[in-house]
């Protein structure tokens, strides 16, 4: 089994903006690799270069942050797991946002990284609070389904299946799926195209 | 009589191995397509866990993202790309997986070769470590783009752990005007429903406009479901789908063909099937559509102008301003007439034979404008062969386009085909994200292949309807 993820505590970094895609999180040239080792340093590389030091990931006040606070539809676009891999290796262990793209969310779960969403007002308040005082502790609590900070204890949303997998440490799905044993072959054999479409 | 069911529910139920605690479903995957980018780490983890590929005969591989399109000779000039290809070859050999390399004559973009080989069939589940796997839904398959850890899951168990999405039926009514293509339809849908409108949904496309489409057009529509936020998009299989599959390499043969056709006909959504949401769009209102911004929902009819900032919704204003700044466009401006530097025809969205035919129809009316670099990249070696048999490559070449070999090419810049600096590219691909085409400051306008060809000849964005 994988590690149990009940709470993620740490300082946070605020990355404003909606529809931030995985090409921005990790430019495609860094997908030319056969391992994920070392890709943390390339997270948001082009955005950071263009921001000339003014990108939140380069802001000294956010250095060492373990929680990334984002906007709407974060991680849209390509299915590249290199995106959450690079953010994880940069140091983020949880994401709090308005919403997450489907595949990015699934990839994060498979790495044991919770993605939780907050209501619009709460998210705005959290962003303001963290920017005002980046030294504060933020706690993403999966048991209580809350995000706590100086801005208050906020009700967070996380999908039941995802939450359960993180709480049980069963987020490495391969281990869970293998458990089905011969039921996999039984399901396959019952499908007409698996059993019946071979040339007769 | 059994209750009315959608194709999505029928396929989901038939492939359910079991319900997992917490509400996820363990779903059997009928076809697993793999490529060089998202699979090496998955094989490495498989090895670490001491596991083998569970259904190697249901797993197929090709090379597409990193392959150069000027010369596919080995070893590849880019040593990192060569290393990825060597890993793919080694992994496929070790696990008994069929791999189509350029030497096979059947290599191509994974989402082009699946349908073309007859691997993509109605009523199946398909997974691939690529977000454009939704493409295969055109045949009435339920197809998921997945990440590398999930590639490992499928290699090891032929299953995925998934949350079941809700179903949205998108009905496109009436008829399309001349010069309006499948690409315009999907760009219009994304523009209307938003780039995150489909999050949590599977899209079922239907209505007279979709029903009248060829398989290749439906592939274009389903391909960009993910750009609208929907991981899965599909069209119910009909006679057009069945005829397309007849006689293909992996299509069932003889008596099995008859059994297959019965299954395919029965898997389509029942007339009274439930959908969680329904949207209707009028086909005749769709114009040739182009994107102007940095996500695929930032699109306009070619005859429209950008709105003034005050007319943009509050929650979209920051994104609108950011896109204007990056692209160098001003609120209120028309995009038609904008000078282009590069024209790219290809990709899993629009790199099929019918796309090349439509582009060639435009290309034969003129010459590529001075200062424009224009590329035509067939989606597969078989597409290239067919195009060459029809003489399309000569039409493109004599008009001043480069005729390349099969691959993903300039869609995503993992190979030598890239934009330089702030170049502006008229592109038949699927994403206009910042930096997508290889230059961090490069700019992309998405449009149909015929519109790209027209832009290449004019040297600027024009309405293809004036050229037809």
Q: Is residue B65 part of a domain?
A: yes
Beta bridge partners of B343: B374, B426
pLDDT at A1: 64
| Strand pairing report for B59-62 and B98-100 | parallel
Q: What is the pLDDT of residue A200?
A: 45
What is the nearest CA distance from A154 to chain B, expressed in angstroms? 22
- Name every chain B residue with its beta carbon within 8 A of the beta carbon of A19: 195-196, 295, 297, 319
Using left for φ > 0, alpha for ψ between -120 and 50, and beta otherwise, residue B435 falls in: left
Q: Which residues contact B187 (CB under 8 A, 6 or more apart)?
A: B224, B289, B290, B291, B296, B299, B446, B447
Contact A161 B163 (CB under 8 A): yes
The CA distance from B301 to B180, in Å, is 11
CB B27 within 8 A of CB B118: no
Report CA-CA distances (Å) from A170 to A5, A105, A165, A166, B451.
10, 16, 5, 6, 49
pLDDT at A149: 98
Contacts of A107 (CB under 8 A, 6+ apart): A75, A79, A81, A83, A84, B147, B148, B149, B150
Interface of B with A in 105-124 (CB under 8 A): 121, 123-124
Contact between chains at A197 and B66 (C-beta distance less than 8 A): no
Count of all residues that appear for chain A in the document = 200
State whether B22 and A163 contact (CB < 8 Å). Answer: yes
Hey, which residues 103-132 in chain A have their CB within 8 Å of chain B? Answer: 103, 106-107, 110-111
Contact A192 B412 (CB under 8 A): no
Are A196 and B259 inside 8 Å of each other by CB?
yes
User: What is the C-alpha to C-alpha distance for residues A179 and B335, in angstroms, rounded to an integer?
Assistant: 55
Q: Judged by CB atoms within 8 Å, which residues 176-205 of B form the interface with A? A: 195-196, 199-200
B contacts of A178 (beta carbons < 8 Å): 51, 156-157
Decide if B38 and A199 are in contact by the 8 Å CB cutoff: no
Query: Is any Cβ of chain B less than 8 angstroms from the Cβ of A192?
Result: yes
Are B41 and B97 found together in one domain? yes
Residues 270-299 of B with CB under 8 A from A: 295, 297
Cross-chain Cβ contact A199/B254 below 8 Å: yes
Predicted TM-score of the model (pTM): 0.97
Write out pLDDT tens, residues B348-370. Answer: 999 999 999 999 999 999 999 99
Same domain, yes or no: B230 and B274: yes
Structure tokens at B113: 């070769």
B104 shares its domain with B156: yes
What 3 state SS string does chain B have? CCCCCCHHHHHHHHHEEEECCCCCEEEECCEEEECCCCCHHHHHHHHHCCCCCCCHHHEEEECCCCCCCCCCCCCCCCHHHHHHHHHHHHHHHHHCCEEECHHHCCCECHHHHHHHCCCCCCCCEEEECCHHHHHHHHHCCEEEECCHHHHHHHHHHCEEEECCCEEEEEEEECCCCCCCCHHHHHHHHHHHHCCCCCCCEEEEEECHHHHCCCHHHHHHHHHCCHHHCCCEEEECCCHHHHHHHCCCCCCCCHHHHHHHHHHHHHHCCCCCCCCCEEEEEEHHHCCCEEECCCCCCCEEECCCECCCHHHCCHHHHHHHHHHHHHHCCCCCCECCCCECCEEEECHHHHCCHHHHHHHHHHHCCCCCCCCCEEEECCCEHHHHHHHHHCCHHHHHHHHCCEECCCCCHHHCCCCCCCCCCCCEEEECCCCCCCCCCCCCCCEEEECCHHHHHHHHHHCECCCHHHCC
What is the 3-class SS of chain A, one letter each residue?
CCCCCCEEEECEEECCCCCCEHHHHCCHHHHCCCCCCCHHHHCCHHHHHHHCCCCHHHCHHHCCCCEEECCCCECECCCCCHHHHHHHHHCCCEEEECCECHHHHHHHHHCCCCEEECCHHHHHHHHHHHHHCCCCCEEEECCCCEEEECCEEEECECCHHHHHHHHHCCCCHHHHHHCCCCHHHHHHHHCHHHHCCCCC
Do the bridges between strand A146-149 and strand A152-155 make them parallel or antiparallel, or are there none, so unpaired?
antiparallel
Give the residue carrying structure tokens 């200062």: B371
C-alpha to C-alpha distance for A130 and A150, rounded to whole angstroms: 8
Tell how strand B424-427 and strand B342-345 pair up. parallel
**What pLDDT, in 10s, does the model give residues A46-100?**
999 999 999 999 999 999 999 999 999 999 999 999 999 999 999 999 999 999 9
With pLDDT > 70 as the criterion, what percentage of chain A qualifies? 98
Strand A146-149 with B98-100, pairing = unpaired
Q: Which of B78, B147, B260 is nearest residue A193 as measured by Cβ atoms?
A: B260
Distance from the A59 Cα atom to the nearest Cα atom in chain B, whole angstroms: 21
Record the tokens describing residue B165, joined without a space: 């999405």
Q: Do B231 and A103 touch (CB under 8 A)?
A: yes
Q: Is B308 a member of any domain?
A: yes
User: What tens digit of pLDDT does each residue of B404-440 get?
Assistant: 999 999 999 899 999 999 999 999 999 999 999 999 9
CA–CA separation, B107 vs B97, rounded Å?
A: 15
Cβ contacts of residue B252 below 8 Å, gap of 6+? A197, A198, A199, B259, B260
Q: How far apart are the first and last CA of chain A?
A: 44
Same domain, B29 and B91: yes
- Whether B320 and B347 map to the same domain: the answer is yes
Judge: A161–B256 Cβ closer than 8 Å, yes or no: no
Number of A:B CB contacts under 8 A? 227
Hey, is the C-beta of A1 within 8 angstroms of any chain B C-beta? no
Helix B40-48 vs helix B79-95: crossing angle, to nearest 10 = 50
In a domain, B467, yes or no: no
Q: What is the pLDDT of residue A140?
A: 98
Q: Do B149 and A81 touch (CB under 8 A)?
A: yes
**Chain B CB within 8 Å of residue A133 CB:** no
Q: Which chain A residues contact residue B161 at CB under 8 A?
A: 161, 165, 173, 176-177
d(CA B277, CA B468) in angstroms, rounded, equals 37
Same domain, B217 and B259: no
What Rg do the C-alpha atoms of chain A give, in angstroms?
A: 19
From chain B, the residues in CB contact with A71 under 8 A are none
The predicted-structure confidence for A7-21, as pLDDT tens digits, reads as follows 999 999 999 999 999
CA B420 to chain centre: 24
Q: Which residues contact B111 (CB under 8 A, 6 or more apart)?
A: B128, B130, B132, B133, B135, B136, B219, B223, B348
CA-CA-CA-CA dihedral for A100, A104, A110, A114, to nearest 10: -30
Q: Quote the CA–CA distance of B240 and B235 in Å, as a whole number.
A: 11
Asked whether the beta carbons of residue B146 and residue A19 sit closer than 8 angstroms, the reply is: no
Q: Does A35 touch chain B (CB under 8 A)?
A: yes
Residue of B nearest to A193 (CA): B260
Instruction: Assign residue B139 the CATH number of its domain.
Output: 3.30.499.10
| Contact between A187 and B16 using a beta-carbon 8 Å cutoff | yes
Average of per-residue pLDDT across A126-154: 98
Q: How many domains does chain B have?
A: 3
Quote the pLDDT of residue A199: 54
List of residues 6+ apart from B419 with CB closer than 8 A: B341, B342, B410, B413, B425, B437, B438, B439, B442, B443, B444
From chain B, pick out residues whose CB is under 8 angstroms from the CB of A39.
none
CA closest to A111 among chain B residues: B149
- CA atoms of B294 and B296, how far apart (whole Å): 7
The nearest CA of chain B is from the CA of A23 a distance in Å of 6
- What are the pLDDT digits (tens) for B380-398? 999 999 999 999 999 999 9
CA distance B95 to B44: 12
- Measured distance CA(A118)–CA(B225) in Å, rounded: 26
Tell me which residues of chain B have a pLDDT lower than 50.
Answer: none
Q: Are residues B190 and B257 part of one domain? A: no
Range of the domain at B171: 166-238+270-285
Contact flag B231-A29 (C-beta cutoff 8 Å): no
Residues of B in contact with A171 (CB under 8 A): none
Structurally, at CATH architecture level, domain A7-195 sits in Alpha-Beta Barrel (3.20)
Task: Look at strands B125-128 and B201-206 and give their pairing.
Answer: unpaired
- Give residue B300's pLDDT: 97
User: How is residue A7 written in tokens?
Assistant: 């709470």
Measured between beta carbons, the chain A residues lying within 8 angstroms of B17 are 180, 183-184, 187
| Minimal CA separation from B39 to chain A, in Å | 8
CA B322 to chain CA centroid, Å, is: 26
ipTM tops the 0.85 cut: yes
A32–B81 CB contact, under 8 Å: yes
Alpha-carbon gap: B49 to the closest alpha carbon of chain A (Å): 10
Q: In A106-124, which positions are buried (b, 16+ CB within 10 angstroms) versus exposed (e)?
A: bbbbbbbbbbbbbeeebbe
Q: Which of B84, B121, B156 sits opposite A193 (nearest CB)?
A: B121
Q: Calculate Rg over the CA atoms of chain B.
A: 21
Q: Is A146 touching B (CB cutoff 8 A)?
A: no
φ, ψ at A169 (rounded to 5°) = 70, 30
């Amino acid at each position: 089994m994988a590690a149990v993820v009940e709470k993620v505590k740490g300082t946070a970094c605020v990355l404003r903006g909606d529809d931030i895609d995985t090409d921005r999180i990790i430019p495609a040239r860094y997908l030319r690799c056969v391992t994920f080792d070392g890709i943390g340093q390339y997270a948001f590389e082009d955005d950071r270069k263009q921001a000339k030091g003014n990108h939140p990931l380069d802001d000294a006040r956010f250095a060492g942050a373990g929680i990334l606070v984002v906007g709407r539809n974060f991680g849209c676009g390509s299915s590249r797991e290199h995106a959450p891999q690079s953010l994880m290796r940069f140091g983020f262990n949880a994401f709090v946002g308005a919403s997450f793209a489907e595949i990015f969310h699934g990839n994060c779960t498979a790495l044991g990284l919770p993605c939780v969403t907050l209501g619009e007002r709460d998210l705005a308040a959290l962003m303001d609070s963290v920017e005002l005082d980046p030294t504060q502790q933020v706690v993403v609590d999966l048991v209580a389904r809350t995000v706590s900070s100086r801005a208050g204890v906020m009700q967070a949303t996380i999908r039941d299946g995802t939450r359960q997998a993180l709480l049980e440490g069963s987020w490495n799905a391969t281990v869970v799926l293998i458990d089905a044993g011969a039921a996999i072959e039984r399901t396959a054999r019952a499908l007409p195209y698996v059993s019946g479409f071979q040339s007769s | 009589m059994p209750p009315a069911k959608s194709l999505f529910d029928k396929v989901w139920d038939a492939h359910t191995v079991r319900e997992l605690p917490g509400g996820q479903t363990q779903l059997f995957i009928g076809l697993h397509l793999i490529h060089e980018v998202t699979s090496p780490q998955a094989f490495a983890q498989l090895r670490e866990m001491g596991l083998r590929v569970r259904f190697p005969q249901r797993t197929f591989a090709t090379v597409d993202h990193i392959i150069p399109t000027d010369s596919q000779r080995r070893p590849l000039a880019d040593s990192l790309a060569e290393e990825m290809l060597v890993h793919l070859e080694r992994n496929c050999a070790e696990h008994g997986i069929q791999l189509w390399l350029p030497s096979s004559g059947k290599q191509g973009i994974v989402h082009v070769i699946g349908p073309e080989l007859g691997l993509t069939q109605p009523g199946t589940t398909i997974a691939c470590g690529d977000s454009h796997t939704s493409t295969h839904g055109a045949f009435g398959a339920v197809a998921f783009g997945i990440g590398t850890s999930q590639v490992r899951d499928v290699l090891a168990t032929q299953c995925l752990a998934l949350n079941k999405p809700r179903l949205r039926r998108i009905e496109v009514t009436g008829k399309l005007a001349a010069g309006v293509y499948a690409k315009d339809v999907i760009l219009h849908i994304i523009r209307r429903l938003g780039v995150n409108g489909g999050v949590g949904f599977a899209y079922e496309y239907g209505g007279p406009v979709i029903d009248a489409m060829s398989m290749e057009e439906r592939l274009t529509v389903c391909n960009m479901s993910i750009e609208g936020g929907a991981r899965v998009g599909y069209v119910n299989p009909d006679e057009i789908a069945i005829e397309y599959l007849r006689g293909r390499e992996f299509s069932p043969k003889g008596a099995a063909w008859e059994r297959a056709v019965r299954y395919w006909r029965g898997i389509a959504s029942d007339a009274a099937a439930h959908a969680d949401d329904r949207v209707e769009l009028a086909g005749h209102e769709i114009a040739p559509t182009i994107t102007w911004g940095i996500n695929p929902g930032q699109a306009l009819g070619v005859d429209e102008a950008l709105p003034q900032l005050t007319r943009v919704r509050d929650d979209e204003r920051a994104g609108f301003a950011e896109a204007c700044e990056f692209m160098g466009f001003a609120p209120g401006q028309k995009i038609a007439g904008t000078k282009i530097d590069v024209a790219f025809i290809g990709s899993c969205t629009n790199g099929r034979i019918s796309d090349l035919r439509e582009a060639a129809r435009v290309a034969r009316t003129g010459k590529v404008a001075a200062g424009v670099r224009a590329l035509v990249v067939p989606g597969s070696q078989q597409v290239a062969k067919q195009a060459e048999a029809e003489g399309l490559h000569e039409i493109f070449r004599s008009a001043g386009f480069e005729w390349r070999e099969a691959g993903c090419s300039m869609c995503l810049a993992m190979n030598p085909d890239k934009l330089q600096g702030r170049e502006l590219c008229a592109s038949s691909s699927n994403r206009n994200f910042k930096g997508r085409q290889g230059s961090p400051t490069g700019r992309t306008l998405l449009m149909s292949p015929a519109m790209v060809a027209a832009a290449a000849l004019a040297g600027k964005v024009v309405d293809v309807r004036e050229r037809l």
